[in-house]
A = this chain, B = another copy of it.
Amino acid sequence: MRRLLLISNSTMHGRSYLDHVRDELQSFLTGVGELLFVPWALADHDAYAAKAISAFAPLGIRVRSLHTAPDVPAAIQSAEAVFVGGGNTFRLLHRLQQSGAAPALTARAMSGMRYVGSSAGTGIAAPTIRTTNDMPIVEPQSLASLALVPFQINAHYLDPDLHSTHMGETREERLRQFHEENAAPVLGLREGGWLVVDGSRMELRGSQPARLFVRGHAPTEYAPPFDLSFLLSKKELR
């Protein structure tokens, strides 16, 4: 009975950290007294933890950072809820794998512990990190991630800049290349959008439509609020 809040981006241009999802966080975390924060996607864990502490204080939620826990799997085992912050997805996954946090997170999240992810923390909720935008600055044991949902996510999904003369691949071209090699559907979650998962139900919320890429089909746009529960059922998309 998973309960997930998967946010594309932690900060909207011109707004403060998590400000655009404050109401959703308040509602999703109702009754939670302490949140376990995973700061490993960034290098400066103390600074990142301080930022998270400040952001959740107005919601009346204490934050404990996983980097200060003496026993990582035990801290996850006893957590009321977890928030995995954004940054570099390869670095984050590497530390989750090294520390034994990854299987513990999957087990707890799949049995009902509330999980909030933002950006890299959202990307690792997919079966693999093969649709990340990040640079592979560290080499994880494998690209397999938490698999809290059965489809791939591309956070910070970006439409092509029609005025650009740069010849690097657009995001859509990159995802088309992903489908040359892989069958899993990919949800492109634009900045300002997020997913709320409650068991077998999933809704797209926020201010921006999401773009779904299914191998062999033209991409589809979904405007929030939209029920995307069909993406949680593998059968319908294979």
Residues of A within 8 A of B (CB): 9, 11-14, 43, 87-88, 91, 129-139, 142-143, 156, 158, 161, 165-169, 174-175, 177-178, 180-182, 191
Contact at A135–B139, with CB atoms within 8 Å? no
Given A13-B165, A158-B166, A166-B191, A133:B135 Cβ within 8 A: yes
Hey, which chain B residues are within 8 Å of A178, CB to CB? 135, 137
Contact at B135–A131, with CB atoms within 8 Å? yes
Contact at A156–B168, with CB atoms within 8 Å? yes
Given A135-B131, A139-B142, A139-B143, A191:B167 Cβ within 8 A: yes
Minimum CB–CB distance for A111 against chain B, Å? 28
Number of copies: 2
Query: Would you list the 6 A-B pairs with minimal beta carbon distance, nearest first?
Result: A13-B165, A43-B180, A135-B174, A156-B168, A137-B178, A139-B143
Cα distance A137–B131 in the bound complex, in angstroms = 7
Minimum CB–CB distance for A178 against chain B, Å? 4
Contact at A137–B177, with CB atoms within 8 Å? yes
Contact at B130–A139, with CB atoms within 8 Å? yes
Question: A156 is contacted by which of B14, B88, B167 (Cβ under 8 Å)?
Answer: B167
Contact at B177–A11, with CB atoms within 8 Å? no
Contact at B134–A130, with CB atoms within 8 Å? no
Contact at A11–B156, with CB atoms within 8 Å? no
Given A135-B174, A143-B139, A167-B191, A181:B91 Cβ within 8 A: yes
Hey, which chain B residues are within 8 Å of A131, CB to CB? 135, 137
Cα distance A214–B63 in the bound complex, in angstroms = 36
